[in-house]
Structure 1
Amino acid sequence: MVTPRREAVNTVGFIDNYCQHYYSIFEDVRHFEAFKYLHLGILSEIPQKSLPKIAKTVGLKSSQSLHHFLRDAQWDTKKLRQMRLWLTRILIGEREIILCVDETGDKKKGKATEYVTRQYIGNLGKTENGIVSVNAYGVVDGITDPLLFQIFKPKNRLKPGDKYKSKPQIAIDMIQESKEWGFKIKLVLADSLYGESGDVISCIEKLQMMFIVAIRSNHGVLIPPGSRKRDNRWKAYQQKLSHRPTETRYLREIIFGKRHRRRYYQISKTNNPDPTGEESWYIMTNLSVDLSPNVAELYSLLNWIEYGFKQVKNELGWADFRLTDYKSIERWWEIIFSAYLLVSIQAASFQFSPQSSPTSTSLVPDSSDSNISQHSQHPDWESGTTWKSALNNLRLIIQPYIFYCLIQSWLQVFNIPGMKHCFLKLIHFMNDFRASPVSFSIAS
């Protein structure tokens, strides 16, 4: 006789509804509960997302079950990634994305953690002992959706069976995989490590995509004998900056002989930059020259993504793992990307306007599906439509559940009539929160 599978413990409504899409991946209901608890803890306001702190925050007696879930439990990380990308594909629909390819690294002590070694960490701008991954994100209507990541495996830390791949080779894999998933990529953005890789550029062009990539000031360009390089006049434009006033920037095209498919630009904070200074940078693109003012605006998205992912890393605990084997780290990062997507889904819903026309399979609701009006009366509710404002609002929604988890032990010491009932009623109100529908059917 087969024992029926018990129902999973409920957490907060919008988290439970989102996580339900991954239910079939976990044969053991306890693993599915750990999956939900991790999402709850990752979205919480605790500054460091260590497993003991997450366990305490979500009401678990110890972090042992969470640690077992990441290190030893039998579930397929690849299937989790596939479901997340399928949900992302549904969220984006037929809209075009800007694909950003970047790397991120974090300092790590010692060498007990797999693939940690002394290496250049781009976001720190220096060589440190640490771990590095290459990441790909899609940007649609100002909202960033996480797509793919791959660990960079340094040659001196390869394990038996590993195959060395450079960061540009990893980037090529992710660009191709993003295309295979059916994302409509209108533009690829990348920094100079990838922009100066002939293989990366050839891959992008072979897939018939547009690109804007950074190049170094000493980047070499072949020109026919007798041709010369010329610099066009500076054009001023207004650069929008995150959390800062708009600044005037300057752009000029650099032409090597005749104009070709690939074009080169210099961007500067002044119209007379110091050639040896850091006030200007260079980019290469295959966009039309008629779009030159937009080239700089579009390329600035890459800096915006770098800033945004740094913020996401800090908020969701990308580097807070206390794990040493990469299988467990990969699982942690995949769940971070899943929580990242959950916030992006809600951010897209907060951004929604009645003039939009989502399809029946979209995760973005029509106006009748949204009931956030009462919840938005909280004095700390943010009316913005950014990813961070969405996260802050979701943190308000999960507060009653988390506070109840933290206070339960005291309620066992001091029996205060009605207090438990009032907490549960408030949690019930939070479970009614529906910024985006997640009830569409999942294809088998």
Structure 2
Amino acid sequence: MLAGVLASFAGRFGRVEPRRTAVAFVTGLLADIEVKTCWQLAEQAGHARPDAMQRLLYRAVWDADAVRDDLRQVIVERFGDPDGVLVVDETGDLKKGVHSVGVQRQYTGTAGRIENAQVGVFLGYASEHGHTLIDRRVYLPVSWTEDRDRCQDAGVPDEVEFATKPELAADMVTAAVDADVPARWVAADEAYGNSSAFRAHLRQHRLGYVLAVSRSHLVPLDGGKVKVRADHVAADLPASAWQRRSAGAGSKGPRFYDWAWLDEVTTDADPDDSGRHSLLIRRNTSTGELAFYRCWTPQSATLAQLVRVAGIRWTVEVAFQAAKSQVGLDQHQVRRWDSWHRFTTLALAALAILAICAADAADEPPKSDLIKLTVNEVRRLINAFIIRPIHELAHRLRWSQWRRRHQARARQAHYERRLNADLQP
């Protein structure tokens, strides 16, 4: 599987050197090393210096979007299903400084508060066969897009303008539809569900959706004549309106919630879209906490279908956790536009390898005393049977000396900059 995924986009490299480096890069992301930056990946690959890895991300000639397309095709061939779900979400990487593309003080769920961070919007694909991430966009705040000099320094193309996160998500959904990714549904959290433009975009593609919305979201009822807050709608429901159903299997068994479904909701944008609008409400059986979903389907749907899609949204959070803990999605130390997209694309390739291997193993007859192979366990086995770490003392010593020499030069340059600044009148 490792060789097959890497071979799928090998033709995107015009020269053998970057092609081999890309193979070593993805293999390094799967390796059992503490931090997955160019320095560590180069040492793992047996290189004498990090130049080749850095060149792959900065100056080598290759198209990260084309590699993304090839990778998406591999994923579709393995996980594709007519009832597939496109799942949208974002994740942030905490950063220092102000030079990394897209960085500013902004809210990120990674920290649960406003921090200096870089945010990426991702598209996942999920079906009964498996799930993983298939696309990515870096989010550029207004503070970036209004400062073209700053964008130029970070390599942001001149044609890139400000786009909201729902607009980035809509762009990825359109790309997936244009690439014939088999999907019938879209799921996302309330950052996207609250966007009427995003919902309208999905309806234009005739994609059913189950999108989380805020408790204050106004739900159009009675033919659109009145709009009621979602939490007020829930408060007026009788006990008979709730049904207990599973939103899918979790690590501890089925995830049961109480669900209420109002199928008389109308649209506040286009009453002639010929689809079925509804409001889905989820209640935690232990805490009573409520969650709300705006739903739309081109044809009639069942409660079981909507509950399934609502539950599948959590696969993107699982994918983020695996991508960061297993293949270093958040460990890059790059600043430029191209470098972010290149590193992220190669990380998605490494994640796809793990996801497909885990899915292949899950197809084997189950054993009563073993759980199915997880993505984490697959990576451990890859390191045990495929990736051979270099133990030669001379190689390790050369890298120790290289790091210390590089750090000494960096420290000296830092001291000189501070001294020159202090001497300025």
Report the TM range for the smaller structure's normalisation: 0.7 to 0.9
Q: Provide, for residues 158-186 of structure 1, a one-character-per-residue CA deviation record: whole Å limited to 9, x for no partner.
A: 25323111111111111111101001212
Question: 1:311, CA displacement in angstroms?
Answer: 2.4
Q: CA deviation at 1:82?
A: 2.5
1:324 is matched with 335
Aligned to 1:15: 2
| 1:204 and 1:211 in contact (8 A); partners too | yes
Q: 1:14-163 residue pairs with structure 2 within 5 A?
A: 15-92=2-79, 95-158=82-145, 160=148, 161=158, 162-163=160-161
1:240 to 1:81, Cα distance in 2 relative to 1, 3 A: closer
Q: Which residue of 1 aligns with 2:167?
A: 169
Which structure 2 segments of 5+ residues have no match? 149-157, 268-274, 398-425
Q: Which residue does the alignment assign to 1:283? A: 293
SS in 1 for 2:55: helix
Contact 1:119 1:130 in 2 (8 A): yes
Kept in 1, the 8 Å contact 2:120–2:137? The answer is yes
Aligned to 1:135, the other structure's residue is in SS state strand
Superposition pairs of residues 234-245 of structure 1, within 5 angstroms:
234-240=242-248, 242-245=250-253
- The alignment's TM-score, normalised by the length of structure 2, stands at 0.77
Instruction: After TM superposition, list the pairs within 5 Å mapping 1:222-371 onto structure 2.
Output: 222-224=220-222, 225=225, 230-232=236-238, 233-240=241-248, 242-254=250-262, 261-270=276-285, 273=288, 279-287=289-297, 291-352=302-363
Q: Which residue number in structure 2 is paired with residue 375 of structure 1?
A: none
* Cα displacement string for residues 32-90 of structure 1 (whole angstroms, at most 9, x for unaligned residues): 11101111110012132122122222222221211111111122223222222232333
Following the alignment from structure 1 to structure 2, what is the Cα–Cα distance between the partners of residues 205 and 350? 36
**Deviation sequence 1:241-261 (CA, Å, 0-9, x none):** 533344542112346678992
Post-superposition offset of 1:92? 3.8
Output the CA distance in 1 between the equivalents of 2:217 and 2:111.
Answer: 23
Instruction: Return the alpha-carbon distance in structure 2 between the equivalents of residues 176 and 294 of structure 1.
Output: 23
Distance 1:411 1:42 in 2: 19
Deviation at 1:410, TM superposition (A): 8.4
TM-score by length of 1: 0.74
Give the residue type in structure 2 aligned to 1:349.
D
CA distance in 1, matches of 2:49, 2:178: 41
- CA separation of 1:256/1:126 partners in 2, compared to 1, >3 Å: closer, same or farther? farther
User: The residue matched to 1:262 in structure 2 has which SS?
Assistant: strand
Would the aligned equivalents of 1:238 and 1:249 in 2 still touch at CA under 8 Å? yes
The amino acid of 2:201's aligned partner reads: C
CA separation of 1:29/1:251 partners in 2, compared to 1, >3 Å: closer, same or farther?
Answer: same
Q: Does the 8 A contact of 2:123 with 2:136 survive in 1?
A: yes
CA distance in 1, matches of 2:218, 2:396: 70
Match of 2:217 in 1: 219
* CA-CA distance at 1:314 after TM superposition: 2.0
Unaligned runs of 5+ in 1: 1-13, 274-278, 355-381, 413-444
Q: Deviations over 1:81-119 (max 9, x none)?
A: 222223233334564421101111111011021210011
Task: Give 1:231's aligned amino acid.
Answer: L
